[in-house]
Amino acid sequence: MKYCENCKISVRGTYSHCPLCNAVLTGEAEESAFPALESHHKRRKLWLSILALASVAGCVVCGTINFLLQGMPWSLFVFAGVACFWLTFSLAIYKGRNIPKTLVWEVFLVSALAVVWDLGTGWHAWSIEYVLPIVCMGVMVTLSIFARLYRVPSGSFIVYICLDALLGIVQLVLLFTGLVEVPLPSLLSIGLCVVTLAALFLFRGRNAKEELRRRLHL
Ligand SMILES: [Zn+2]
């Protein structure tokens, strides 16, 4: 059995370092007490690598065709599209465990990317007239359903709803500054934010107040 001089304990299994103090173990290794488990991460990593390779190959093919045919540099849009996909996708993987939190982060990222695209393609305001309201509404509805189904602790749920509602305020500002010329999606989205917030404070008022006070250090 392996032995840690530091902690004066024997360690069963094939560890090379002490699980308590991380010092190098002495003595002979012995069969582990636990069966070896096939990791899910391996398969996921393989799929991610395949997806990444496909993205790189796609970019190379598009770049080459574009270079050979000359004309408009359309392949730049392909590169930007792939980059946006990986940004949103890696955020989902990185934050993946906490689905409501991931959703809220994705709203901000997707909205920001949409605005950048809109600016890059000559600003037709579709990002703030359609993408922002639709994404904001979508997440508001998904969060509410999710909270009902999975009994998300009401504290954190309140914070996510409030964060999403921040985008409602942004839309209100955009509406009043006249940047938004098609007001219907924004109005619907703002309305939904107001109704959801009202419901939250009417039915979960005490929870909501406590949670916000705690998080905002009021
Ligand atoms: Zn030790």
Distance CA 57, CA 62 (A): 9
Q: Which of 1-15, 28-42, 80-94 has the lowest mean pLDDT?
A: 28-42
Span from the CA of 40 to the centroid of ligand 1 (angstroms)? 30
Span from the CA of 42 to the centroid of ligand 1 (angstroms)? 30
Please name the amino acid found at residue 4.
C
The per-residue pLDDT for 96 is 66
Paired tokens of 119:
């600016």
For residue 10, list its beta bridge partners.
Answer: 3
Distance CA 132, CA 107 (A): 8
**Interval 20-53: pLDDT, tens:** 998 999 888 877 777 776 667 778 888 889 999 9
Pick 39 or 1 by higher pLDDT. 1
Span from the CA of 8 to the centroid of ligand 1 (angstroms)? 7
The rounded mean pLDDT for the chain is: 85
The per-residue pLDDT for 44 is 80
**Interval 157-168: pLDDT, tens:** 788 888 888 888
Q: Is the pTM of this model over 0.75?
A: no
Nearest to 147 by CA among 108, 94, 200: 200
For residue 11, list its beta bridge partners.
Answer: 2
- In the structure, what pLDDT confidence band is assigned to residue 90 with cuts at 50, 70 and 90? confident
DSSP β-ladder status, 9-11 and 2-4: antiparallel
Q: Does residue 153 have a pLDDT over 80?
A: no
Burial of 161 (0-12, 13-18, 19+ CB in 10 A): buried
Q: How far is the first Cα of the chain from the last one, in angstroms, to the nearest whole number? A: 55
